[in-house]
Structure 1
Amino acid sequence: MKVQSPEIRGGIRVSELIEMMKRTGFNARRLGEAAQVCNEMIKNDTFVFMTVAGAMVPAGMRNIIAGMLKNGFVNCLVTTGANIVHEISESLGLGHEIGSSYANDLELAERNINRIYDVFIAQEAFEKIEEFLSGVITELDGTYTSYEFLWEIGKRLDDSSSFLRIAWEKKIPIFCPTLHDSIAGLHVSIYRKDLQIDFFRDVNRMIDLCFQKRRMGVIIVGGGVPKNFTLQAMLLADGFDYAVQITTDSPQWGGLSGATLEEAKSWCKLKPDAKAVTVYCDATIALPLLYAFMLDSSLSGQTEK
């Protein structure tokens, strides 16, 4: 098959464009192939884990994550404490502001504004988050997994678009193995009385999910702890049938965030014949496109039925 340049026209659908990308080169083709793998996961009733590292919520990706949970494209989410904190900020109506990476950070500090590359968030937001979380934490006692604790948070968020709220309503586990490494973790440490977060129960539950007798898939956004926490749970099971990875890191430095999915096969985290694609792209570009393709394909399938 020859390389074919996409035939762009006015009103083209995202799914059509990504289909054309499968006949191009480089990471455009990888994105098209990744979309195809995601589509197969949906059609084959796959249990899908999604790992989200980095500052995806501050960058505006929360509706994408929420939509993937709500539409059944993702059955389990693994993310960082930072993304949880920023999701709470959004759900409380505090949000983030479009800023600039060229801002004077000393001036921002004087104005009580925090910078995440080109996104700003006011210090006041973290004060409101602390007020909200302190109320949740002091109401709880006993031992919780991280996902049970996050369900308690989601239950108390009056925001139907929050992925924490959606997870609680649909009983989708959201694991946060780095909860203690975040502002939320600081508040748990300060305000808890008899509340305990048992991260080892998280591990046991993850392993149980991996032992399901059905097709298993994973969508990896970034790398870090969420990626490792999810892939290592497959060490005792049979390995993933499908895997899609979006990363801007590279493998030659030896870090997990850039480690290839082929390398994961050497650990038996993926099955030898697993369909796996790595897309080297900014996740804030690739993830919305993948979700749009999956949503469009899913709606088209419903229409055909």
Structure 2
Amino acid sequence: MATSPIKDYTLKGVSSFWQLAQRFGESGGFMAREVAKASDILFEMCSDIRCTKFLSFTANLVATGLRGVIAEMIREGLVDVIITTGGTLDHDIARSLGGAYLKGDFDEDDKKLRTRGIHRLGNIFVPVESYGPIIERFTRAMLQDLYDREHLSTRELAEEIGKRLDDENSILAQAYKKKIPIYIPGIVDSSFGTQLFIASQKRRLFIDLLRDEKELMDIVFSAQKTGGIIIGGGISKHHLLWYNQYREGLDYAVGITTSQEYDGSLSGAKLNEAISWSKIKTHAKVALVYGDATIVLPLILLALYERRGALKG
């Protein structure tokens, strides 16, 4: 039961988002308080040296400038394990190799865009030549380099991609440099995955998902504590939660979503629902922010960086 009174606040004297987040917490109102809570939990999680930090996110975010923010999270040591979707490989490869993603409009005529050879992802325009052909050329060349390797896990494929990309804003490149494993349980649901299938029709090539699962199990069971930063939903969210149930759940969880729970979907499920499945501990510190991750994630990270003094210039 809440006992603290709601306080009015002004913006006078606020010179950082960390200061504003503190006032959000005092205001007691709606998502402002949840943003403040998420900021506090993220700080505690990232300060806990016993905590193995999992990050899950959906591929659509990699088509936006948030890709650089996620790559920065890796550089700053906020992440130990990443679980994402197949499209992350597509967008990261395409954008790292010069694919031009353009500012568009949600209400553009999609029939006209098709005749102009432009894909629409929300209000982002992706010219055909900036997407499929780039990914296909890159993937074919990489698989040719790896011709003698018949069995590859998704973690190994992500590493092979990362070491071939020279882009400081590439999630895969930063993860490779920092030795952060990336797992993609739905890897075939992507342009990259289609190229894997095509290659498998011409040579012996097997994607070893079970090796990925064994590695995730080993990470979970060897961790003293675990925390999850869960951006969006889908298979990446569920995979993060699923494996943590085998240690009775996450100790920390921060989620950002726009999905609602009323259709019973995993994407819309509140994080507290995961407690009933033992995917989050009963005493875990949990915050769920309803909002666009392209707005919310940079704000709570900025509060963290300001608090830690991690970014210099």
Q: Measure how far apart 1:301 and its partner are.
A: 11
| Aligned Cα root-mean-square deviation (Å) | 1.7
Q: Percent identity?
A: 35
2: distance between equivalents of 1:184 and 1:11?
46
Q: Measure how far apart 1:40 and its partner are.
A: 0.2
Equivalent residues in 2 for 1:122-271 (5 A)?
Answer: 122-125=127-130, 126-140=132-146, 141-192=149-200, 193-271=203-281
Q: Deviations over 1:182-211 (max 9, x none)?
A: 111001111343332111111111111111
Secondary structure, counterpart of 1:217 in structure 2: strand
Q: Deviations over 1:143-162 (max 9, x none)?
A: 12111111000111121331
Q: Measure how far apart 1:54 and its partner are.
A: 5.0
Aligned to 2:17: 14
Contact 1:54 1:222 in 2 (8 A): no
Q: Deviations over 1:165-193 (max 9, x none)?
A: 11111110111111101111001111343
Q: In 2 relative to 1, CA 153–54 (structure 1 residues): closer, same or farther, beyond 3 Å?
A: closer
Contact 2:39 2:300 in 1 (8 A): yes
Please tell me the residue identity of whatever aligns with 1:194.
R
Secondary structure, counterpart of 1:93 in structure 2: coil
Structure 1 position 40 matched with structure 2 position 44: yes
1: distance between equivalents of 2:286 and 2:78?
17
1: distance between equivalents of 2:136 and 2:311?
44
Contact 2:52 2:225 in 1 (8 A): yes
Aligned to 1:99: 104
Contact 1:53 1:223 in 2 (8 A): yes
Q: Deviations over 1:258-305 (max 9, x none)?
A: 112221111111111001111111111111112212222221799xxx
Aligned to 1:110: 115
Q: Measure how far apart 1:6 and its partner are.
A: 3.7
1:5 is aligned, of 5, 8, 15, to 8
Aligned to 2:309: 299
2: distance between equivalents of 1:185 and 1:258?
26
1: distance between equivalents of 2:251 and 2:298?
23
Q: In 2 relative to 1, CA 10–63 (structure 1 residues): closer, same or farther, beyond 3 Å?
A: farther
Structure 1 position 282 matched with structure 2 position 288: no
Q: In 2 relative to 1, CA 13–236 (structure 1 residues): closer, same or farther, beyond 3 Å?
A: same
Structure 1 position 75 matched with structure 2 position 80: yes
- In the superposition, the TM-score normalised over structure 1's length comes to 0.94
Equivalent residues in 2 for 1:55-74 (5 A)?
Answer: 55-74=60-79
Aligned to 2:34: 30
Secondary structure, counterpart of 2:240 in structure 1: helix
Q: In 2 relative to 1, CA 300–185 (structure 1 residues): closer, same or farther, beyond 3 Å?
A: closer
- In the superposition, the TM-score normalised over structure 2's length comes to 0.92
Q: In 2 relative to 1, CA 88–8 (structure 1 residues): closer, same or farther, beyond 3 Å?
A: same
Contact 2:245 2:280 in 1 (8 A): no
Please tell me the residue identity of whatever aligns with 2:183.
F
Q: Deviations over 1:222-253 (max 9, x none)?
A: 11100111111122223211001111112221
1: distance between equivalents of 2:193 and 2:209?
13
Question: Which stretches in structure 1 are left out of the alignment for 5+ residues?
Answer: none
Q: Measure how far apart 1:11 and its partner are.
A: 6.8
Q: Measure how far apart 1:220 and its partner are.
A: 0.6
Please tell me the residue identity of whatever aligns with 1:154.
G
Contact 1:206 1:230 in 2 (8 A): no
Contact 1:147 1:175 in 2 (8 A): yes
Contact 2:254 2:287 in 1 (8 A): yes
Please tell me the residue identity of whatever aligns with 1:267.
W
